[in-house]
Amino acid sequence: MPEYVIRALTAEEVQTAVDWAGQEGWNPGLHDAVCFRSSDPEGFKGGFLDGQMIASASAVNYDDNYSFLGFYIVRPEYRGSGYGLQVAEAVKAHCHDRNMGMDGVVEQQDNYRKFGFELAYDNYRFSGTAGGILNQLGRSLHDKIAPLSALADDLRSYDRDLFPAPRDTFLQAWLDAPHHVSRVFEEDGQIKGYATLRRCLSGYKVGPLFADSREIAEVLLVSLLTTLPADQMGAEVFIDMPNPNAQAMALAQQLGLTKVFETGRMYSSHVPDIDLDRIYGITTFELG
């Protein structure tokens, strides 16, 4: 009888799960593994069959009330054998009685409902080129935009209105990571938006893209994309937008972006009270 063991993943094994995500077409960032694991190292689980990792799942506990599930992947040759379900049960147990969020692909949402999740809204991944976006928005820089590299109290407070739990450890890792560029929009001493651009296996992703208005979201996008060298103007740029934000959808249409992927944001208990109208790009499908 083969031995099947479920345990927390090492840093190297989390990178393996991220690599699998790349093979599945999820296009992770180059430094996602380090940033993700920093949030809750015990929340990344793997299933090992006779010592070989064949399945993964994650449940990042942000505080005593909220957790986010992701990285549910089983190697193709072991799918349908129940190994993935056991890892999923293990990460669910790690959450205890927290409200759990997840971004479920459309074809799996009925299965997630069996686990007690309900659909809250859809997220759409849009794609365009860096040069194409800048051609629509122009390249002039705004004097209220500044580089962002440190996690200060005002940023914590701003982010807290747009995410269901404090995430200081993750944010600091996100701002510090190589190949991540972050910008903040400040007016009258107050943050009105911030955003991060990161290099991915293919192209770049913008996330988060949080802004008090569509105009601020636009100038944040310009400030990020103008940091790219000229030879990257043809590179793809991806933004994951919540469908309920009508201004985000209008911005995607204005920029001529193409919808390339869709998930459903689902919750196990209740829909958190966050301001979707200021979320022009979610941070990640893997960690919320």
List pLDDT tens digits, range 154-171: 999 999 999 999 999 999
Task: Please state the φ and ψ torsions of residue 69, each to the nearest 5 degrees.
Answer: -100, 145
Note if the bond before 229 is cis, omega within 30 degrees: no
CATH top class, domain 4-102: alpha beta
- Decide which of 2.60.260.20, 3.90.1560.10, 3.40.630.90, 3.40.50.720 is the CATH code for 123-281: 3.40.630.90
For residue 1, pLDDT beyond 80: no
- Residues constituting the chain: 288
pLDDT at 261: 94
pLDDT at 209: 98
For residue 123, pLDDT beyond 80: yes
Q: Which of 262, 265, 274, 282 is nearest to 119 (CA)?
A: 265
- In tens, the pLDDT along 13-50 reads 999 999 999 998 889 999 998 999 999 999 999 999 99
pLDDT at 238: 98
pLDDT at 32: 92
End-to-end CA distance of the chain: 38
Q: Which of 150, 162, 126 is nearest to 249 (CA)?
A: 126
Q: How far is CA 79 from CA 197, 227, 238, 284, 287, in A?
A: 34, 42, 29, 25, 23
pLDDT at 216: 98
Can you tell me the distance from the alpha carbon of 119 to that of 285, in angstroms, rounded to the nearest whole number?
Answer: 15
Tell me where in the chain the CATH 3.40.630.90 domain(s) lie: 123-281
Going by pLDDT thresholds of 50, 70 and 90, the confidence category of residue 141 is confident
Q: Are 120 and 71 in contact (CB under 8 A)?
A: no
Can you tell me the distance from the alpha carbon of 59 to that of 126, in angstroms, rounded to the nearest whole number?
Answer: 26
Tell me where in the chain the CATH 3.40.630.30 domain(s) lie: 4-102
Tokens of 78: 């072991």
CA atoms within 13 A on the CB side of 27: 17
For residue 140, pLDDT beyond 90: no
